């Protein structure tokens, strides 16, 4: 078997553990080769990759970030791009192609997988949902990698500010959380920390409210 990995989404806690899982799978089997495409889709389309081994990965185990092989910003949204991916998979004789990313990555993977079925490409394509935003919902997906860890880290920081604000009294603290559809993350942190107010950005934008 020969399996390729692509980081397409942004960094999220736990993403590197996908590599660890693939390496554990390799250790349990025989004749399994793992490769990582450099800088995501760019590496795939340019045929740039490196072997993934326990030795090269040892300094990244259980760490955040996606700097082991890097991510790219390119997406595959047309048949020409899917044809290139199919040709590369055939050339490298890939048994599987694993993507890690959020909603846009999952959209790409769905179209690629469908294209592979129509073109009888043997490579199996899967996507591991990795996103801190918490905006991936499906009956077969309990949660995306990274959301739980991110919400706990943010909640710890917010909790520290709550303690300070309750002690100082004279200040208002505004905490802005990043991300695509960020209110999932904001609400999760609010449930953990119980602030005085939660501003749901999507609702405020819909109501044309200013701060």
Listed in sequence order, the residues at least 6 apart from 136 whose beta carbon sits closer than 8 Å to its beta carbon are 102, 103, 106, 129, 143, 144
pLDDT at 38 over 90: yes
Active-site pick, 67, 133, 148, 164: 133
DSSP 124: E
Q: How does pLDDT run across 7-22, given as a tens digit for each residue?
A: 987 788 888 899 999 9
Sort residue 10 into left (φ over 0), alpha (ψ -120 to 50) or beta.
beta
What spatial distance separates the first Cα and last Cα of the chain, rounded to whole Å? 55
Q: How does pLDDT run across 117-165, given as a tens digit for each residue?
A: 999 999 999 999 988 888 888 888 887 888 888 899 999 999 999 998 8
Per the prediction, the chain carries an average pLDDT of 90
pLDDT at 182 over 80: no
Sort residue 182 into left (φ over 0), alpha (ψ -120 to 50) or beta.
alpha
Q: Is 133 a catalytic residue?
A: yes
Q: What integer pLDDT is reported at residue 62 of this predicted model?
A: 86
> Is 98 within 8 Å of 126 (Cβ atoms)?
yes
Q: What are phi and psi of 100, to 5 degrees?
A: -130, 125
Q: How does pLDDT run across 60-115, given as a tens digit for each residue?
A: 988 888 889 998 777 888 889 899 999 999 999 999 999 998 888 899 999 999 99
- The predicted model scores a pTM of 0.85
For the record, the structure tokens of 153 come out as 């880290």
The confidence band for 179, taking pLDDT boundaries of 50, 70 and 90, is low
Q: 3-class DSSP state for residue 9?
A: coil
Angle between helical axes of 103-118 and 79-92 (0-180°, round to 10): 70
Residue-level length of the chain: 211
Q: What integer pLDDT is reported at residue 49 of this predicted model?
A: 95
Domain 2-129: state its class: alpha beta
Domain boundaries, the chain: 2-129, 147-206
Share of the chain above pLDDT 90, in %: 55
Share of the chain above pLDDT 70, in %: 99
The confidence band for 180, taking pLDDT boundaries of 50, 70 and 90, is low
């Amino acid at each position: 078997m020969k399996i390729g990995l692509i980081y397409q989404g942004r960094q999220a806690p736990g993403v590197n553990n996908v590599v660890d899982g693939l390496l554990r799978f390799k250790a349990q089997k025989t004749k399994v080769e793992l490769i990582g495409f450099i800088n995501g889709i760019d590496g795939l389309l340019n045929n740039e990759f490196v072997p993934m081994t326990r030795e090269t990965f040892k300094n990244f185990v259980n760490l955040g970030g996606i700097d082991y092989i890097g991510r790219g910003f390119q997406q595959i949204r047309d048949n020409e791009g899917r044809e290139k991916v199919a040709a590369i998979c055939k050339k490298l004789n890939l048994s599987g192609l694993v993507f890690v990313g959020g909603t846009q990555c999952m959209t790409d993977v769905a179209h690629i997988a469908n294209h592979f079925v129509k073109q009888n490409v043997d490579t199996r394509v899967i996507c591991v949902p990795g996103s801190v935003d918490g905006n991936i919902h499906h009956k077969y997906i309990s949660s995306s990698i990274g959301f739980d860890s991110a919400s706990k880290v943010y909640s710890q920081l917010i909790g520290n500010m709550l303690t300070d604000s309750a002690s100082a009294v004279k200040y208002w603290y505004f905490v802005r959380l990043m991300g695509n559809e960020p209110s999932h993350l904001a609400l999760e942190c609010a449930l953990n920390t119980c602030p005085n107010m939660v501003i749901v950005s999507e609702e405020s934008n819909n109501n044309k409210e200013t701060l």
